[in-house]
């Protein structure tokens, strides 16, 4: 861990560096799960006597600068008993990162923002072998895809299905019919999707722009870059929503980036997790090429995997990517370490 940390003379900043949390910014503190994994990494390096804790002497072995080691050890050793337990470490990290608003960043910050095509396809092959074809997007028409893309913002798809059922029970699913519906009635129909008043306004705004542009014939005639710019000009349509429409309604070779994409590929250490949307999208599109069917199926598989296995609290034991996932290996090590400490 060495030299890059030894230039820091504040024990709290040393703590930050040691946990891979570098810099001060506006992001939220890391989860306790993340901090416990980091402690396991430190334990693997410093726990010479394999007792499941880090002693003051063992902690000093991490730093060649004795003064920094002394300050850091005193800071972590909450109970002043000469050892640093996992709970002490987590308590200190959570308190400091909450106070200082530390930006969580991966220790792989130097990784180029590119994706290896073979690795990306290997992940896809594993997901496809596990889950099979997903048949996504579930819609009867391109316009229904676009309506669904607006409604799925910040909610589960099952809620969108309920909202669509309520809406189509009242009117035909066309832009003209939506615009003719009273906004309060539209909001009531969309109630299951959450944020229904906001979504009613956004859906009306989208339909207005859709009709003003000439509908599907005119929009479909635009090249992908022009169409994307046009969609992004509509109020309430952000990059993910626009790319949902491009990929699933217009069958353009764009890769949709969502929270599941960030979570899965950050845990695989193929992304840092703090890259911008466009950076991640471009990386995937470069790695996968202009393949509409691959982009379609890949995104759907990532969503399935993120919902069922690679959750916020992951089910690593059930993961088809476990063998090549550093985060899973870290969790395995942490569990083993905890088991040893309690035995």
- CATH code of the domain covering residue 82: 1.10.238.10
Structure confidence at residue 274 (pLDDT): 85
Q: Of 248, 250, 54, nearest to 258 (Cα)?
A: 248
Q: Are residues 155 and 68 in the same domain?
A: no
Q: Of 250, 228, 248, 247, nearest to 238 (Cα)?
A: 228
Residue length, the chain? 343
Q: Are residues 154 and 231 in the same domain?
A: yes
Those residues whose C-beta lies under 8 Å from the C-beta of residue 98, and which sit 6 or more positions away, are: 29
User: Is residue 291 domain-resident?
Assistant: no
**Domains identified in the chain, total number:** 2
Structure confidence at residue 5 (pLDDT): 32
User: Is residue 134 domain-resident?
Assistant: no
Q: Are residues 72 and 161 in the same domain?
A: no
The reported pTM is 0.66
Q: Where a domain ends, among 231, 249, 267?
A: 249
User: Is residue 21 domain-resident?
Assistant: yes
User: Is residue 180 domain-resident?
Assistant: yes
Q: Are residues 63 and 153 in the same domain?
A: no
User: Is residue 13 domain-resident?
Assistant: yes
> Using CA atoms, how far apart are residues 209 and 189, in angstroms rounded to an integer?
21
Q: Are residues 240 and 181 in the same domain?
A: yes
The low-confidence residues of the chain, meaning pLDDT below 50, are 1-28, 100-112
- Domain with residue 161: its CATH number is 1.10.340.30
User: Is residue 60 domain-resident?
Assistant: yes
Q: Are residues 89 and 170 in the same domain?
A: no
Q: Where a domain ends, among 197, 230, 249?
A: 249
User: Is residue 83 domain-resident?
Assistant: yes
User: Is residue 321 domain-resident?
Assistant: no
Structure confidence at residue 84 (pLDDT): 72
Structure confidence at residue 94 (pLDDT): 66
Q: Where a domain ends, among 226, 249, 272?
A: 249
**Domain boundaries, position 54:** 3-100
């Amino acid at each position: 861990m060495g030299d890059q940390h030894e230039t820091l003379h504040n024990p709290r900043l040393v703590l930050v560096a040691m946990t891979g949390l570098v810099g001060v910014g506006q992001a939220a503190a890391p989860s306790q799960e993340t901090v416990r994994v980091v402690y396991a990494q430190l334990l693997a390096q410093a726990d010479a006597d394999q007792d499941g804790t880090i002693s003051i002497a063992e902690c000093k072995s991490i730093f060649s600068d004795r003064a920094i080691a002394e300050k850091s050890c005193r800071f972590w050793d909450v109970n002043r008993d000469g050892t640093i337990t996992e709970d002490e470490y987590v308590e200190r990290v959570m308190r400091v990162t909450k106070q200082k608003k530390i930006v969580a960043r991966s220790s792989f910050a130097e990784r180029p923002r590119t994706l290896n095509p073979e690795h990306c396809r290997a992940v896809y092959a594993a997901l496809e072998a596990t889950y099979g074809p997903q048949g996504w997007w579930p819609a009867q028409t391109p316009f229904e895809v676009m309506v669904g893309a607006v409604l799925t913002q910040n909610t589960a798809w099952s809620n969108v299905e309920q909202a669509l059922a309520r809406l189509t029970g009242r009117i035909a699913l066309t832009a003209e019919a939506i615009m003719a519906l009273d906004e309060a009635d539209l909001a009531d129909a969309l109630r299951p999707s959450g944020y229904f008043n906001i979504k009613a306004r956004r859906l009306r705004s989208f339909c207005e722009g859709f009709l003003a542009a000439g509908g599907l014939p005119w929009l479909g005639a635009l090249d992908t870059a022009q169409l994307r710019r046009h969609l992004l000009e509509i109020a309430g349509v952000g990059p993910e929503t626009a790319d949902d429409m491009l990929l699933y309604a217009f069958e353009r070779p764009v890769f949709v980036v969502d929270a599941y994409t960030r979570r899965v590929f950050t845990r695989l250490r193929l992304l840092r997790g703090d890259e911008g949307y466009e950076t991640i999208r471009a990386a995937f599109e470069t790695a996968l090429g202009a393949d509409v069917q691959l982009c379609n199926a890949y995104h759907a598989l990532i969503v399935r995997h993120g919902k069922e296995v690679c959750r916020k609290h992951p089910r690593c034991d059930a993961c088809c990517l476990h063998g090549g996932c550093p985060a899973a290996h870290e969790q395995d090590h942490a569990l083993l370490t905890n088991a040893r400490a309690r035995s």
